[in-house]
Amino acid sequence: MKSENPTALGLKKSFGYGDRLGLAGPGHIAANEKFDFAGIFAQQSIRELDRTKRTAEEVMSAAQRSLAAVDYDKPWGADGDHLKTEEDVRRMAAAGYTFFTIDPSDFVVNEANGMGENDLRETVSRQESANIYGGHSLENLYLGKSYEISDELDLAFTPEALLRAGVKYGEAVHHMEKIARSIDRECADRPFEIEVSVDETETPTTTLEHLFIALELKRRCVDVVSLAPRFTGDFEKGVDFKGSLQLFEESLQGHAAIAKKMGPYKLSLHSGSDKFAVYPIIGRVCGELLHVKTAGTSYLEALRVILREDLPLFNDIACYSAGRFSVDKATYHLSVTDEDVAQLSHQKIADQEDFYLNQNKGRQLLHVTFGSVLTDGKRENGQTFKEAILENLEKHSQLHKDLLNVHFSKHLRLLSNG
């Protein structure tokens, strides 16, 4: 029986495939079919929809066409990603999405880590006056209690640690509850599930802070299928993990124990594309309680097709991207700098595919400028880059599928090996 519409996937380990062009579905499905992951084949954030000038319905339809073409008969999901407002929720719910990722990053107070105790107390007092904790005192809720998370992990808040967690995440959780209630209303007649994400913040989420978020969600009766902390190390777009693997694994073990105890719910890895160094660790530690989210890496594989089959078009895109980088980088944490990009016009690149699509600087340059390329970029003949890219991908659909199949099989294999 065909699975024409998305549904809730529950605690089955899952993998999300962002598709900014609408033609990556066949490659995504081919890779996913070889591994034991539930696929989220329609996935787009509000930010990506706005930057590509696509609608939620267009993203959904592209996924459904690809699935129908292979008579797909397994449950699959559709993720309305990084939802910040109730209008965002209505927009994705109306298009039939079933997985809703709440992004409260505008309410996370990153400065909490550097605040003194007096400032922390004053801030929490203002929160309590604003009814952030529903008329409760933060200290009365959680201070003096011990939480047995696992045989190896017992947690308790010190006064300072509780204040810091409250300041950093209190208003964010309050906002999560507001958006969750909106999702409840919009999807009252069908299956749905909620993910909460605090990954796009400046500082890592500690185990105590994760516990605080989980306790507050439970107290507010907000059920989540997955939670995305800000993990230790750097998860930059389009490139591998940077940081200590040992510290990452130690931290991940604590987060996984909390997710199992307080839910259970899945741990979600955002900016999950190309993080090959940590995949075996994640697969081993998280087991079934795992969701991985990818997006821009599929766009880069599309550009690999363009480079191989229409090098003049690729060169036009690369040059245009270099001119847009200083503006488009604003919302990303990156290693590549304006100086790196400025030097590109002065150096001879012997192997363009290796530099632009295998090395970090080239990948990040192309990754963060996708919105400008797909909405505003044009060739000298007046044809838009998007039209030219889609024309090439349609013409070379088998190569496009094969590249995606190989690329995502590497992702899923390493996760499964763990």
List pLDDT tens digits, range 362-415: 999 999 999 999 999 999 999 999 999 999 999 999 999 999 999 999 999 999
Residue 143 contacts residue 157 (beta carbons within 8 Å): yes
pTM equals 0.96
For residue 199, give the CATH number of its domain.
Answer: 3.20.20.70
Tokens of 132: 């952030």
233 plus 358 within the same structural domain: no
Is 351 a domain residue? yes
Mean pLDDT for the chain?
96
Residue 30 contacts residue 404 (beta carbons within 8 Å): yes
Q: How far from the centroid of its chain's Cα atoms is residue 136's Cα?
A: 33
pLDDT digits (tens, 9 = 90+) for 401-412: 999 999 999 999
pLDDT at 349: 84
Q: Which domain holds residue 302?
A: 298-403
412 plus 365 within the same structural domain: no
82 plus 19 within the same structural domain: yes
Q: Distance (Å, rounded) from C-alpha 283 to C-alpha 259?
A: 15
Tokens of 36: 């034991």
**Nearest Cα to Cα of residue 194 among 6, 10, 60, 4:** 10
3-state secondary structure of 6: coil
pLDDT at 347: 60
230 plus 372 within the same structural domain: no
280 plus 253 within the same structural domain: yes
302 plus 372 within the same structural domain: yes
316 plus 289 within the same structural domain: no
Is 131 a domain residue? no
Contacts of 201 (CB under 8 A, 6+ apart): 105, 108, 110, 230
289 plus 303 within the same structural domain: no
**Strands 193-197 and 226-228, how do they pair?**
parallel
The count of domains in the chain is 2
For range 233-249, the mean pLDDT: 95
Q: Distance (Å, rounded) from C-alpha 337 to C-alpha 340?
A: 5
Contacts of 25 (CB under 8 A, 6+ apart): 17, 19, 41, 62, 63, 65, 66, 67
65 plus 185 within the same structural domain: yes
Q: How far from the centroid of its chain's Cα atoms is residue 27's Cα?
A: 20
pLDDT digits (tens, 9 = 90+) for 114-172: 999 999 999 999 999 999 999 999 999 999 999 999 999 999 999 999 999 999 999 99
364 sits in which H/E element: helix 360-368
pLDDT digits (tens, 9 = 90+) for 82-99: 999 999 999 999 999 999
205 plus 302 within the same structural domain: no
174 plus 239 within the same structural domain: yes
Q: So which residues are the catalytic ones?
A: 81, 195
Q: How far from the centroid of its chain's Cα atoms is residue 246's Cα?
A: 23
pLDDT band at 350 (very low <50, low <70, confident <90, very high): confident
pLDDT band at 343 (very low <50, low <70, confident <90, very high): confident
